[in-house]
Chain A
Amino acid sequence: MVFSGIPFLFYFLPAALALYYLVPWKLKNLVLLVVSLIFYAWGEPVYILLMLFSILVDYTAGRVIHRYRGSGISKLALFCSIAANLGLLGFFKYSGFIAQNLAAVGIPVSFASLPLPIGISFYTFQTMSYSIDVYRGTAPVQKNIIAFGAFVSMFPQLIAGPIVRYSDIAAQLENRRITLDGVGEGAMRFIRGLAKKVLLANPIGLCWEAARGGADSVLGAWLGIGAFALQIYFDFSGYSDMAIGLGKMMGFDFPENFRAPYRSASISEFWRRWHITLGSWFRDYVYFPMGGSRCSRGRMVWNLAVVWLLTGLWHGAEWNFVAWGAYFGVFIAMEKLFLSGWLEKIPGKGGGLVRHGYALLVVLLGWVLFACNSLPSAFSYWQSLFSGPLWSGNALYTLSNYGLLFLLLIAVQLPWERWCSGLAEKWMKNRGGQAALCLGYVLLFGLCVAYLVDASFNPFLYFRF
């Protein structure tokens, strides 16, 4: 089930929340587990077994690691947990890719082509982090399988993140508070996320859909990839907002996943602002254990290469995703070695402009790799960004049709919180201001519903990861 749909908003959510609020504390984790399983089974009735398997393996691994701490058995249990999760991920996500590439070099292998279980990349990473953290002693062991199951399957963040680590919410699983204030805050966050997805991401997505087959002018190509950049940001961060909001409504604090990524002044900064929970996962569980950047330059470059190839591959089992990861790896390595030093030397406002322009350009060109389904089509799209007629009737139409939407999407990313922080506080104190804000949220929600009822275009972008 997706959040941005009538069945979720008006059937599942009211029923799930009502049940969750009504039962006594002792049963809340159980209710959470059950409704989450229903949520998952709605779209993936068969693959629910995979998730149950993953829950069982990691729960057992955690207990064994804890029980036999310091011995070889503990290590073995950790190994089993990681192997099981990577095995699941490898089998369901990468077997087709591996077989295809083996076939390309002349080793034919037969494999069953299975649809990718929704959210598998998210929940396997979450459960792995649990086993590793218990092994490292940075997270407590969970002896209650219902609480553990609720953590893994928790529906708000199940299918599109953020990647919540066990250590993030371990305490909350045992003991959390649900307040009317928290519910209200969560509701506002949820409505903002829903609006991002339904009112901003979906409409601008149509602009990319029109361009993806190949734009007939330079202007059209830039509008297309600009539209994609905006679509994926508002879509993904909208999902994260909805997840965080739903979490708050149920008494959980999930980690933030996006912090205005397109305001970055370097690629390293972009990845500290974009899909934060994924970046920090790779940092803590791959990059740092390998030695991070506190080692020889050669070793650091190797570490970066591994992390970024894996990051790319996590996003999808295709070469263009691998290339996309490698592309960022190259820029981050260059920044660490010399590029940041150079860029920092440019003084004044012009320097800031150059740094932001550089980061934005690299990210935009990177999205071409991500969005085009194959490397050749990505190359030909790059070509169309820099060659051919400057504009065309189609491009001018696109500009006039989507111009205001583009401006709106860009405008909401500007640092308003810095510019009008005083103003917002003033409003929140004033009763009229509060009423206006409430009304605004209600209307925003109503508008989202209008778009959903009319919707013929409501894509789910995360089926590849």
Chain B
Amino acid sequence: MKKTMAILFACLLLGGSLAGLLLPDRGFSPRERRNLAKLPKWSLNALFSGEFTKKFESYAQDQFPLRDVLISVKGTAEELLQKKENNGLYFGKDGYLLDGLADFSREKWQENLSYIRRFGENFHGKTVFLPVPTSAGAYPEKLPAFAPVTQQDALIGEAEKLCGSRVETADALPSLREGGEGLYFRLDHHMTMEGAFVLYQKAGEALGFDPLPRDAFTAKTVSRNFYGTYYAKAGRLTDAPDSIDILLPREEFSAAMTIQDTGETIPGLYSQKQLEGYDPYAVFLDGNHARVTIRTGAGNGRKLLVIKDSYAHTLVPLLAHHYEVIEMIDPRYYRQDLYAFAEEQEIDEALLVFGLANLDQETGLSTLYLGSEK
């Protein structure tokens, strides 16, 4: 048996190293949605400073054969060990992975709120702020017992206070808590379009339009194979993929979006080609772009400026029914004077949609400062 073990161990080591050497390095990881580490450049300088060895370690870790499977093996092992969390996400009930925002950074959050407040004070029209809770906030009953979380209703309450009187903060959390199943993806940080429908009703109250009833739309499943970002971080072998549904209006409705970054105009509000890619969530409004212009057949002359992160992508196709033009800006990529832009485009309603999970990080909101403030 010792002899067998000697041979097996040799096979394991050689197998791992040969596979690592012979298999081509992967550039982009669809699962983790990031570029994997590349073989670092060799130089004596880098070696002596220790930089080479550090980078080589990330390289070896990132390019290890079967990395994606091994990550799921670890997640599964953690669950079997009755661990309640893995890599910062809770194993929730009903197959949900949940982000309780336990390490929420208050400092960065308050800084971001101060930018929103300043935007409200400088923007000439009406400003509505719609923070999007995480699934852990909407479904507290799915969390493990005693799991430490940051209370999201308290955060939204804080936002109401700190954003000032010029900004109306819309609190969707109570409605989401009563909204039943299916408002969030189990394995991704985003809401489903069903969840966005709840936000849509809230936005209607705040912005002053009458939302269409739910039965004006029918759900159509466009993907049954969606492995989201939560899965990437903490997924298990047993996780079944999410489906992506879009809510299509029963009545004829025309809309088109222009991706200003590239100049491309896509008919409709969904990008079918993204369904084939690594991130099928990008089917909504073609994913992240600096500026997207949506023109619709609403015919009412209303215009809306949406400053947002990707949480808004399921919401905006619903809002489109009430605005002839929606200018959608992602401040992480857009670096121009927004106040001047809004005046030029004659927009006097602004909606800010950000995930709470993003608001304790760099959102790009600080660039709203760049505007010509009055």
A interface residue numbers (CB < 8 A to B)? 1, 5-7, 9-11, 13-15, 17, 42-43, 45-46, 180-185, 187-188, 190-191, 203, 393-394, 396-397, 400-405, 408, 428, 434, 437-438, 441-442, 445-447, 449-456
A280 to B133, CA, bound (A): 59
Docked-complex contact A10 and B16, CB < 8 angstroms:
yes
Q: How far is the CB of A439 from chain B (nearest CB, A)?
A: 9
Which residues 293-327 of B sit at the A interface, judged by CB distance below 8 A? none
A11 to B19, CA, bound (A): 11
A393 to B17, CA, bound (A): 45
Indicate whether B1 reaches chain A with its CB closer than 8 angstroms: yes
Q: How far is the CB of B316 from chain A (nearest CB, A)?
A: 35
CB neighbours of B5 from chain A (8 A) = 184-185, 187-188, 438, 441
Q: Which of B65-73, B257-265, B331-339 contacts A (4 or more CB under 8 A)?
A: B65-73
From B84, which residue of chain A is reached at the shortest CB distance? A401
22 A-B pairs, CB-CB below 8 angstroms? A6-B60, A10-B13, A11-B20, A14-B13, A183-B6, A184-B1, A184-B5, A184-B9, A187-B6, A187-B9, A393-B148, A397-B148, A400-B144, A401-B83, A401-B84, A401-B85, A402-B83, A437-B1, A442-B8, A447-B74, A449-B16, A454-B87
Docked-complex contact B17 and A11, CB < 8 angstroms:
yes
Q: How far is the CB of B90 from chain A (nearest CB, A)?
A: 10
Indicate whether B370 reaches chain A with its CB closer than 8 angstroms: no
Q: Which of B48-56, B163-171, B207-215 contacts A (4 or more CB under 8 A)?
A: B48-56
A428 touches which of B1, B57, B64, B146 (Cβ 8 Å): B1
Docked-complex contact B60 and A10, CB < 8 angstroms:
yes
CB neighbours of B75 from chain A (8 A) = 454
Docked-complex contact A184 and B3, CB < 8 angstroms:
yes
Docked-complex contact B81 and A397, CB < 8 angstroms:
no
Indicate whether B374 reaches chain A with its CB closer than 8 angstroms: no
CB neighbours of A447 from chain B (8 A) = 73-74, 77
Q: How far is the CB of A234 from chain B (nearest CB, A)?
A: 15
B82 touches which of A11, A404, A428, A441 (Cβ 8 Å): A404
From A191, which residue of chain B is reached at the shortest CB distance? B9
A9 to B16, CA, bound (A): 9
Docked-complex contact B146 and A45, CB < 8 angstroms:
no
Indicate whether B248 reaches chain A with its CB closer than 8 angstroms: no
Indicate whether B61 reaches chain A with its CB closer than 8 angstroms: yes
Q: How far is the CB of A426 from chain B (nearest CB, A)?
A: 13
B145 touches which of A184, A396, A428 (Cβ 8 Å): A396
CB neighbours of B70 from chain A (8 A) = 449-450, 453-454
A393 to B77, CA, bound (A): 25
A456 to B32, CA, bound (A): 15
Docked-complex contact A6 and B3, CB < 8 angstroms:
no
In this complex, the member of A14, A404, A445 whose beta carbon has the largest number of chain B beta carbons within 10 angstroms is A14
B53 touches which of A42, A46, A450 (Cβ 8 Å): A42
A445 to B70, CA, bound (A): 12
Given A6-B61, A400-B144, A453-B61, the answer on whether A185 and B83 have CB atoms closer than 8 Å is: no
Docked-complex contact A6 and B57, CB < 8 angstroms:
yes
A445 to B16, CA, bound (A): 12
Docked-complex contact B17 and A10, CB < 8 angstroms:
yes
From B233, which residue of chain A is reached at the shortest CB distance? A454
Indicate whether B221 reaches chain A with its CB closer than 8 angstroms: no
Q: Mark B1-45, 1 if CB is under 8 A from A, else 0.
A: 111111111001110110010000000000000000000000000
Q: How far is the CB of A409 from chain B (nearest CB, A)?
A: 11
CB neighbours of A401 from chain B (8 A) = 82-85, 144
Which residues 156-175 of B sit at the A interface, judged by CB distance below 8 A? none
A393 to B151, CA, bound (A): 14
A187 to B13, CA, bound (A): 11
Indicate whether B47 reaches chain A with its CB closer than 8 angstroms: yes
From B3, which residue of chain A is reached at the shortest CB distance? A180
Docked-complex contact A394 and B146, CB < 8 angstroms:
yes
Docked-complex contact A400 and B145, CB < 8 angstroms:
yes
CB neighbours of A9 from chain B (8 A) = 13, 16
A407 to B14, CA, bound (A): 35
Given A393-B146, A405-B81, the answer on whether A7 and B3 have CB atoms closer than 8 Å is: no
Q: How far is the CB of B86 from chain A (nearest CB, A)?
A: 9
Indicate whether B147 reaches chain A with its CB closer than 8 angstroms: yes
CB neighbours of A402 from chain B (8 A) = 83
B14 touches which of A14, A185, A400 (Cβ 8 Å): A14
From A41, which residue of chain B is reached at the shortest CB distance? B47
CB neighbours of A442 from chain B (8 A) = 8, 12
B4 touches which of A404, A405, A434, A450 (Cβ 8 Å): A434
CB neighbours of A400 from chain B (8 A) = 82, 84, 144-146
Given A185-B2, A400-B144, the answer on whether A450 and B50 have CB atoms closer than 8 Å is: no
CB neighbours of B6 from chain A (8 A) = 180-181, 183-184, 187
From A15, which residue of chain B is reached at the shortest CB distance? B17
Given A10-B20, A184-B3, A450-B77, the answer on whether A45 and B47 have CB atoms closer than 8 Å is: yes
In order of increasing CB-CB distance, the 4 nearest A-B pairs are A184-B2, A187-B9, A184-B6, A184-B5
A6 to B146, CA, bound (A): 36
CB neighbours of B73 from chain A (8 A) = 446-447, 450
CB neighbours of B77 from chain A (8 A) = 447, 450-451
A6 to B16, CA, bound (A): 9
A438 touches which of B1, B20, B48 (Cβ 8 Å): B1
From A393, which residue of chain B is reached at the shortest CB distance? B146
In this complex, the member of B9, B13, B48, B67 whose beta carbon has the largest number of chain A beta carbons within 10 angstroms is B9
A393 to B143, CA, bound (A): 13
A118 to B2, CA, bound (A): 33
A455 to B61, CA, bound (A): 9
Q: A17-B13, A188-B2, A447-B74 are in contact. List 4 more A-B contacts (CB 8 A).
A: A6-B61, A7-B56, A397-B146, A441-B8
Q: How far is the CB of A332 from chain B (nearest CB, A)?
A: 37
A451 to B67, CA, bound (A): 10
CB neighbours of A393 from chain B (8 A) = 146, 148
Docked-complex contact A394 and B74, CB < 8 angstroms:
no
In this complex, the member of B20, B47, B60 whose beta carbon has the largest number of chain A beta carbons within 10 angstroms is B60
Q: How far is the CB of A404 from chain B (nearest CB, A)?
A: 4
CB neighbours of A45 from chain B (8 A) = 47-48, 50
CB neighbours of B148 from chain A (8 A) = 393-394, 397
Q: How far is the CB of B42 from chain A (nearest CB, A)?
A: 13
Docked-complex contact B48 and A453, CB < 8 angstroms:
no
In this complex, the member of A1, A10, A402 whose beta carbon has the largest number of chain B beta carbons within 10 angstroms is A10
CB neighbours of A437 from chain B (8 A) = 1
A403 to B145, CA, bound (A): 13
